[in-house]
Structure formats: structure tokens, C-alpha cells
Amino acid sequence: MTKPPLHSLLLRLSAVLLLLLPARASAETVRLLVSIGANVGAPDDAVLSFADDDAERVRRLFIELGGVRTDRAYLLVDPTATAVRQRLAEVAGRIAELRSAGNDVVLVVYISSHARAGVLHLAGTGLPLAELRDTTRQIGARLAVVIVDACESGTLAQRKGGTAAPAYDVSLERLPLQGQVIISSSGPGESSEEWDSLKGSLFTHHLLTGLRGDADAEGDGKVSLSEAYAYAYRRTVAGSSSAGQHPAYAWDLSGTGELILTEPEVARSALIFPAAASGRFVVASQPRADVMAEVDKQSGRPLRLAVPPGRYLVRKRAGESTGLLEVELPYGGQRQIQEDKLVWRRFTEVALKGGYVALRNSALMGLARMESAPISGSGLRFAGGLGYRHTWGSWWALGTLTATGASYRGVALDITERAFGLGASGGYRWMQWALVPHLGLSVELTGMRQSLHRDDEEEIQENLGGAPLAPLHALGVAVGPVAGVELPLWGRSFALVQGQLLLRYLPSRRQPSVRAAGLVSAGAGWRF
């Protein structure tokens, strides 16, 4: 039997070692975002109202659904052209670091501002659109997506070497994934509209709605670049004044693949529109009535619209009436929008109140509370009571009725105390979080009755005569700040914990009439 040659053994050994070694991990795709909002343009430009808000909305959405980490999402508000150049230079450096570590980088740049004659107007300075295009193409990312929401931004899509697309007839099934994609909110010579009712620009509003799931034509829980652009184009053209705004795009790419911009399926919370639902639905945050999304729901296709955890008012217009549905998602989750649950109000009522209508702004509450002793040395008081609260958006007012009793020793006598309190408080609450903190001012009126029984009452009356000690009565008032937190529970129920620091006036012959007092309350309520 002959031995295999040495080189054959080495080849076999090398093959075994290669099989045992871990396979090299594929490059991780890292996404970066630069979101720019400039309300202030050139000196002769009208100041925009919502460019900064739009930039922040884009930033939040890509963090929420677009796979961008918070520390990789840059926000610039009213920057100069120099500040934008500096930030893009910093991003180029970070892209170089990521690539040297073996990462694959995708960059998204969003700008909302004034523009004219191919130049972005930024805080009194100018940034040529051609410079923005060239900088982002050479920045080092494998793929750069540039979205510009500005007047006459369509000139950005007209560039040498690029391919400008007609209307929204875009097929990106074979979209190359190396190079640059440019999307503009309007064509050459066209204006990009900003609407007060949306508190934002028309194009960005529809783009964000699409990215939240309404543009998901395939129903796979993901929104591709082609789906987002086609959706934003269609809705912008249909909604603009006299159909005078036509988004445009251009690309200069190579390779194959599809770019997914957002994945609504990963959202912590969502609104579910069943297949049978149809019509135009507006989703606005509460209590500040910012429009989150506006969908034209077609019957036959279910829709999952991703939204951040929070509180929402869903509106549906039908003739002279508007259907309303309050949705509580402070902890996330999802809620199905059932049209038979809509509460119908006159359209004029909703319009006059700026889009905010509280359907259940009243609440009944049961309360338990502990307060410091109104009389020195007599111990803590424990009370029960009822409350009624009314809210006007973030403002609130609460009325309470409480009762308490206590027994304690005096000098050679027993004292039984009964007290009733009537309270009123009001203030402001912050509804941006699941737990709702509130702050305000409270006033309390307290009526107190003390019954006195001496240790030797029978003997005293037998020897000295006379009647028992008469009860003592007092009426006091207290005023001070109140602070607390509201915890939403299930359905319309909630829990409430609050503390009060009071300066109390209570007539007394043996202690100061004005004393500091503390009070802690806890309870549960039901909104109606």
C-alpha cells in the first residue's frame, strides 16, 4: 500500500481546517440619517412655519421604523450652508470609520427649506443643489438617498449622467443598490406647498404616511423606495392646489436589489384598519392635535399603520359630520379601528376646536389619602373620598369631597374627631409619555368637630353638676401646590397618585393657627 504524496495530505488538511473555521460574517448594513429643516431662508423669503417640525418628524420616523440608531440620526434646525457642509464632512468621516470596520453604509439625507434657481436658502446663505448632489454622491456610502422638499427642487433631478423619471411610473424591482437616488418634492419651476392644517409640508406629510405603512402595496410589512415614492407622488399631485406640484426623482446606480426604507411591521404600536373599512381617515396625536397620518382607505385591503406609543384621535369625514374615535396606546400595542365605534359630531364643532375634541373629558374617582395631623401630636389622618375631574386637553380641574375620623388622648380626656373636606384643584398635565405628570394649585376647606369625654365624666357630673363638655367646631382653609402622576390602565380607567404641600389655617387656642401640612392621595378613576 502506497502512502499519499505530501502535497496531497497538505491539501486535505487545509480543506478540513477551512471547514472548521467560522465563515466570515457578511458586512452589516448601517444606516445614517441627516435631517435638515430651515424655516428661515433668504431675506426676501417668507419664513416657513413647519420645516423644522418636518425634519424632526423624519428623524423620529427613521429611528422608529427605518433602522437608524439615535446616535446616527443627525438633526439640523435653521443651519447655515456652512453648518450643513461641516456636518456632511463629519458624516463622511464617520462613514469612513464604519467602512474600515467592515460595515456597509446607507445614507439618507432629508432637507426641507426654501429654494430658488437651483440653490437651497439656508438662514440667509445659499447651498447649490448641484453641490449637495455631488457631495452626497462622493461621501463614501454605498447608497445615498437624498430627499429635498423645497420649491423648484426638481432641478436636482435634472443632472448630467442621471436618469430623470416621468410622473410616478417607477419600477425599482431591479433597482441598483450602489450609487445615488434623488427625490424632489416638486418639478422645475413648481412650488412645494406647506399647509397649516397639516402643520407641515404636503409632500413630506404624504411621504411619512406612506412610510408608516399606507404605501405597503405588497402587504409584506415593509415599504420600499419605489412604493414610498409612488405613493407620495400620487397623493401630492391629488392634494396640491390645482394639481400644481409634481414630485420627481433621478438615479445613478449600479447593481441589483431593492431598497427597503421602513419596516412598519416592527413598530411597537399600530392602528389596524380592517379590510371592510373605507374612506379618508385622519390620525392626529392628542392632546396637541398634530396630524400623524392621513389615509385614503380602500375597501378590500387591510391596513396596519405604524404609530408611536401615545394617544390619538381618529377622524373620518362624511358630509357635514365627522366621526371620531379616541385611541389610547400609551404603552404600545395595537388597536383596531371599528367604524361602528365612531362618535359622530358636526364638522363645524370639530373645526372650531382646532381638531381637538375630547370625547370623554369627564371622570369620576374614588380616593384614599393620608395627611399630616391638623393638631399637634394627634397622629396622621386617613381619609376616603370621591372626586370629579374635567379636562380641556392638557388642562384639568378636580373637585373632591372627603371624610375622615380620628380618636386620640388629650389631658385626662378622650377626643373623637370628625372632619369633612371640600377641595378644588387645577393645573396642567404633560401627556407626551405613558405616565402623565401633572402640576397645579389646590384649595381645601375643612370643617371639624371634636367630641370631648373626660376620664371621670360621671363622677364630675355627680359631684359638681353641669353638663358634659360641649363639642368644639372649627372651619379651616388650606392652599398650596399639588403635583402627581396619572397612570392609564385598561379601557377608560386610570390610577392617580398625587401629593400636596399646604399652608393650613385652623383656629386653635393651644397652637399656632397657621401651620404647614402635607397630604398624599391615591385613587382610581373612570373617564366618560
Q: Which of 226-240, 371-385, 437-451 has the lowest mean pLDDT?
A: 371-385
| Residues carrying CATH 3.40.50.1460, the chain | 29-264
Question: Does the pLDDT at position 135 exceed 90?
Answer: yes
Question: Does the pLDDT at position 172 exceed 70?
Answer: no
What is the rounded distance in angstroms from the CA atom of residue 317 to the CA atom of residue 324? 9
Per the prediction, the chain carries an average pLDDT of 86
For residue range 48-103, what is the model confidence (pLDDT) as tens digits?
A: 999 999 999 999 999 999 999 999 999 999 999 999 999 999 999 999 999 999 99
What is the rounded distance in angstroms from the CA atom of residue 239 to the CA atom of residue 216? 20
For residue range 444-472, what is the model confidence (pLDDT) as tens digits?
A: 999 999 898 888 877 777 777 777 888 98
| Residues carrying CATH 2.60.40, the chain | 267-352
**Which architecture characterizes domain 362-527 according to CATH?**
Beta Barrel (2.40)
For residue range 180-232, what is the model confidence (pLDDT) as tens digits?
A: 999 999 887 788 888 887 889 999 999 999 999 999 999 999 999 999 999 99
Residue 157 has a pLDDT of 52
* CATH T-level fold of 267-352: Immunoglobulin-like (2.60.40)
Question: Does the pLDDT at position 24 exceed 90?
Answer: no
State how far Cα 254 lies from the chain centre. Answer: 38
Confidence label for 286 from pLDDT (cuts 50, 70 and 90): confident
Residue 191 has a pLDDT of 81
For residue range 350-367, what is the model confidence (pLDDT) as tens digits?
A: 665 555 566 788 999 999
Sheet holding 178-184, edge to edge: 73-77, 29-37, 104-112, 143-149, 178-184, 248-254, 163-164
Question: Does the pLDDT at position 19 exceed 90?
Answer: no
For residue range 289-342, what is the model confidence (pLDDT) as tens digits?
A: 788 999 999 999 999 999 999 889 999 988 888 899 999 898 899 999 999 999
Cα dist from 523 to 135, 318, 424, 438, whole Å = 59, 40, 16, 15
What is the rounded distance in angstroms from the CA atom of residue 232 to the CA atom of residue 209? 9
For residue range 404-417, what is the model confidence (pLDDT) as tens digits?
A: 999 988 888 888 99
Residue 353 has a pLDDT of 54
Residue 8 has a pLDDT of 53
Question: Does the pLDDT at position 381 exceed 80?
Answer: yes
Confidence label for 421 from pLDDT (cuts 50, 70 and 90): very high
Confidence label for 398 from pLDDT (cuts 50, 70 and 90): very high
Record the pTM: 0.77
Confidence label for 373 from pLDDT (cuts 50, 70 and 90): confident
**Which architecture characterizes domain 29-264 according to CATH?**
3-Layer(aba) Sandwich (3.40)
What is the rounded distance in angstroms from the CA atom of residue 516 to the CA atom of residue 500? 11
Q: Which residues sit opposite 58 in a β-bridge?
A: none
State how far Cα 268 lies from the chain centre. Answer: 12
- Checking 99-105 for CB contacts under 8 A at 24+ apart, the result is 99/140, 102/27, 102/28, 103/27, 103/28, 103/29, 103/30, 104/27, 104/28, 104/29, 104/30, 104/142, 105/29, 105/30, 105/31, 105/32, 105/140, 105/141, 105/142
Cα dist from 312 to 94, 324, 334, 432, whole Å = 38, 10, 12, 11
Residue 321 has a pLDDT of 87
State how far Cα 63 lies from the chain centre. Answer: 13
Residue 154 has a pLDDT of 55
Residue 468 has a pLDDT of 82
What is the rounded distance in angstroms from the CA atom of residue 478 to the CA atom of residue 424? 11
| Residues carrying CATH 2.40.160.20, the chain | 362-527
For residue range 193-207, what is the model confidence (pLDDT) as tens digits?
A: 888 878 899 999 999
Question: Does the pLDDT at position 282 exceed 90?
Answer: yes
